Every structure is written in C-alpha cells, then in structure tokens.
Amino acid sequence: MMPLSAFKRENQSAHSLPIKRNKVTRVIYLDNAATTALSLAAIQAMTKTMTVFGNPSSTHSHGREASKLLRQAREDIAQALHTQSNKILFTSGGTESNNTTIKGYAFRHQNRGKHIVTTAIEHHAVLEVVEYLVDKFGFEATFVQPVDGQIRAEDIEKALRPDTILVSVMAVNNETGAILPIKEIGELLQEHPAAFHVDAVQAIGKLPIYPDELRIDFLSASAHKFHGPKGVGFLYAKKMDFDNFMHGGDQEEKHRAGTENLISITGMAAALSDSTEHLEVNLEHAQDLKDSLLADLSDIDFYLNESKPSLPYVINLGFPNQKNDLLLLQMDLNGFSISTGSACTAGAIQPSHVLQAMYGKDSNRLHESIRISTSDQTTLQEIQSFTKKLKEILGG
C-alpha cells in the first residue's frame, strides 16, 4: 500500500492547478409550508438531550433520566394545546398520525359503520389513506368539494350518514392557506356519533388550536412545520380509541411501539413552546409580509388563489400565461426557493389537486400558480428582494 505522504506527492500537481469556484449567492427560502428551519430553542434542547443516551423504557438511572425528559416534553406539548399529557402520543410525523387515526379508528369501529367523510382538498396523507380503506377494505367515503374555494360546515353536515364513523378535515390547507371551519364542524358533530379528526399540520404553532375546546377527538401535528426537527410529530387523542398502527414493544402506554426519538421529541416540544409563546406577534409579522408582497406586485397582472379566512403564512398566486414550472426554475436559478404547492414526482410537477377542486381540471390556474410560504424567520427585505426579481423575470 502506498504511504499517504507518497500519495500526496504523486498527486500534488493535480491539486496545484487553480480551482475556479462559483460565487456563493445566498438563497432566500420561501417554502416554509414544505418545511421550516430549526429554531434556536429546538437546537439548544436537542443539543442538550444528545448527552442523554438512556432508553426511556429502562428502569435504571440512565433510563429514568431519559424518561424524565420524555415526560417533560409531553407536558410541554400538552400545555401548548391546553390539554392533558396523557392525550399526547409521539409519532414520526403528520403522516403517521393521520394513518394511525384514520386506519386505526376505522378498523376498530367498522362494526358501527364503514362511511368516512373528508374533503377534496386534504393532504395526500389523508386522501390516500381513505382511498386505501375504500379500495381494500370496503369502506365508503364522501369527499366534500369546496364552494368558492372554501369548505363549508353545512356541506360536511349534509355528507353525514347514520353509518358515518369518522370525519377528517384539515385545519389549514397547505397549498392555499385556507382556514377551515373546525369549530363549526366540531359543534355540529356533537349531534352525531362520528369521531372528529383534524389534520393540523399547517396550523399548529401558527394559530391557537385547543382540541378540547374545539371538540376534536384526534389531531395530527408535525414538528418540522413549526421549526422543529423532521421525522417526529404527535397525535392528540381525546381517547386512545383506535387499533394500533405500530406493533412491538409497550412504548407510549402500549399505543405506539418503538423506542421514542427522544432527541427530536425534546426539540419538537421546545419549538412548539417557543412558537406558542410568540404566536400573536409571529402572526402579525406574517400578515405584514403578505401585505408587502401583494402591494409590491400591484402594478403587474396576477391573481390570488385563496378564500377567506386564510392564513397569511401561505400565499398562492398565479400569473396569466406564465407557466409555473418555468417560473419555479427561473426563481430557483436566481436564488429563491418557492414551490407550486403541488406534489413532485420524478421531477415532473403534477397539477394541484387542491386547485383542481377549486377551479376545475381544465383551469389555466393549475399551470400558472405558485406558492410562497413564510415563517417568523422570513424578513421584509427577503420579500422585497423576491418581488423585485419576480417582476424582472416577468418583465414587469
């Protein structure tokens, strides 16, 4: 084997040539509905927990130390939701929480009925789960359509049947920012035995959502949407009334097998506590950013894809006769990360099922619209830089 010193000498000439380096340009991130950067609170909590390597299920001192952190994280999340810690179940994220609720509740209660009500604008982590139950297990589903871009509580009520066992509705749409009438739906379901599941992935940490007050039975959340780490989330359950999705050990009071991801869980709890503490000022900041963006674009031709009320963190807009895939690429090449708000498969941007439900499958909006999504870390200067470059590209 050649000594390292000899290898370096032999290859020195190859490395002595001047290397041309591209100038590093700071990329402005405006895709926070997809994921958010870790908050300082999350980083600090996770860094501290990295020194705690015990298994929370172990009874020795190392395990008890880990278990204490796990209990505290559960308490912190429960406090942010104004509920009790025994109603919080740790998962790997929103997708697992949705699967656990919809499949688990449907399987346990199929003797009472096999009808599920949801909406046409849900995330795929709900739509595909419901479709799976319909295709493979004989369930039936009603997909409530939006009216003027919004889901109405009265249409949810009309969709209910005596054999409806579950209603699953998102709190905030991830593509348009539409805020759905969760309070009204929770109230009307008091007169019906169906359970109420809310996919709150885009809402938790941004809006005050307290499941006990809103009469929610199950609520899904994902840490990376509110400046926590990826790969961790939680499920609020008024009662742990579902068949287990994960089987194996006795973790999470025997409701979700698998050693808990303690580092990420403590980061999630810290991120949620921080977001909740600054919720109002952050919401006001997001509204200011949205107002600025729309004002800056007032002298060019565009339209908004939204309904009232809407969350200011998510802005979906389109430009007539401008292909969104090309615009996305041009903005990326110029240092701006945005999205179309739709799924991307094998590099091909697929038309948004949300916009299709709102405007029809033949609408030009499906191919002209982009999504800009901000966070409390987004600055006014970044928005101004974005609108300036966007208008340059559009020729405005």
CA distance 365 to 321: 9
216-267 pLDDT, tens digit per residue, is 999 999 999 999 999 999 999 999 999 999 999 999 999 999 999 999 999 9
pLDDT of residue 263: 98
pLDDT of residue 26: 76
Residue range 28-38+278-394, CATH number: 3.90.1150.10
pLDDT of residue 20: 37
CA distance 47 to 28: 26
CA distance 179 to 173: 7
Helices marked H in the chain: 4-10, 12-16, 40-49, 61-80, 94-109, 124-137, 153-159, 182-188, 251-254, 262-277, 279-296, 324-333, 353-359, 365-368, 380-394
The one-letter amino acid at 28 = I
Binning the chain into helix, strand and coil, the percentages to the nearest 5 are 45, 15, 40
130-146: average pLDDT: 98
Evaluate if residue 24 carries a pLDDT over 50: no
CA distance 196 to 86: 19
Place of tokens 């308490």: 75
Evaluate if residue 381 carries a pLDDT over 90: yes
Evaluate if residue 3 carries a pLDDT over 60: no
User: Of 344, 360, 364, 392, which is the active-site residue?
Assistant: 344
3-state secondary structure of 283: helix
CA distance 371 to 137: 36
Evaluate if residue 389 carries a pLDDT over 80: yes
3-state secondary structure of 107: helix
42-60 pLDDT, tens digit per residue, is 999 999 999 999 999 999 9
Strands 28-29 and 336-337: parallel
Under 8 Å between Cβ of 121 and 104? no
CA dihedral 157, 158, 164, 167 (to 10 degrees): -40
Could you tell me the residue ranges of all domains in the chain? Answer: 28-38+278-394, 41-274
- Write down the number of H helices and E strands in the chain: 15, 14
Average pLDDT in the chain: 92
- The encoded tokens of residue 324 equal 């969104």
Class of domain 41-274: alpha beta
Distances in Å between the Cα of 395 and the Cα atoms of 220, 300, 322, 390 are 43, 9, 11, 8
pLDDT category at 283 given cuts 50, 70, 90 is: very high
Evaluate if residue 344 carries a pLDDT over 70: no
67-111 pLDDT, tens digit per residue, is 999 999 999 999 999 999 999 999 999 999 999 999 999 999 999
pLDDT category at 395 given cuts 50, 70, 90 is: confident
pTM of the model: 0.91
pLDDT of residue 293: 98
pLDDT category at 10 given cuts 50, 70, 90 is: very low
Strand partners, 207: 204
Q: Report the candidate in 289, 279, 306, 320 with the shortest Cα–Cα distance to residue 28.
A: 289
- The encoded tokens of residue 374 equal 């901000």
pLDDT category at 280 given cuts 50, 70, 90 is: very high
pLDDT of residue 350: 83
Comparing 63 with 1, which gets the higher pLDDT?
Answer: 63
Q: Give yes or no: 94 in active site.
A: no
DSSP-derived secondary structure for 2-23 = --HHHHHHHTHHHHHSPPP-PP
Helices marked H in 35-192: 40-49, 61-80, 94-109, 124-137, 153-159, 182-188
CA distance 248 to 250: 7
pLDDT of residue 15: 37
142-162: average pLDDT: 97
Least confidently predicted of 217-221, 293-297, 338-342: 338-342
Length of the chain in terms of residues written: 396
pLDDT of residue 25: 59
